[in-house]
Amino acid sequence: MSASVFRNAMTLQFPSLSENESFARVAVAAFVSQLDPTLDELMDIKTVVSEAVTNAIIHGYEGRPDGIVTVRATIEGETVRIEVEDQGKGIEDIEQARQPLYTSKPELERSGMGFTIIENFMDETEIVSAPGKGTLIRMAKRIESRRKQALFN
């Protein structure tokens, strides 16, 4: 990453407790707010962070509170890049997990829409996972600042 476009970065690590999902969502939203996103863009960011962290807690660590979830965010120019990583059980079949309505936890009444939501709300999405090695979700979204939009409207 070039020094001319790099603007800022943050990393959070927390135990795999469900109450930390809202902490991660708000922390990343606060970080992204320096780009002056629209409310829709901010809601998209909050939603994808919520989905990715919830997946790590429920699927990666299967609800065990002893796991660690790592959230990284960087701002490069007008693009925010977000990574959510766990060292949990991993995903056996990533393509199957990406299918709308697929869930490995139907007994928990999961909708199976997590990856679909992430892919629809972000400009780029990459899922890296292997059984027994955890999962890394990389996401990117270009933010059109409200100030910039006001100039063109």
Could you list the active site residues? 51, 55, 110
Q: How far apart, in whole angstroms, are the C-alpha atoms of residue 89 and residue 122?
A: 25
**Those residues with Cβ within 8 angstroms of residue 50's Cβ, 6 or more apart along the chain or in another chain:** 21, 22, 24, 25
Distance, in Å, from the CA atom of 112 to the CA atom of 92, rounded to the nearest integer, reads 15
Q: Is the dihedral angle over the CA atoms 104, 110, 112, 114 positive or is it negative? A: negative
Beta bridge partners of 64: none
96: exposed, middle or buried (C-beta count within 10 Å: 0-12, 13-18, 19+)? Answer: exposed
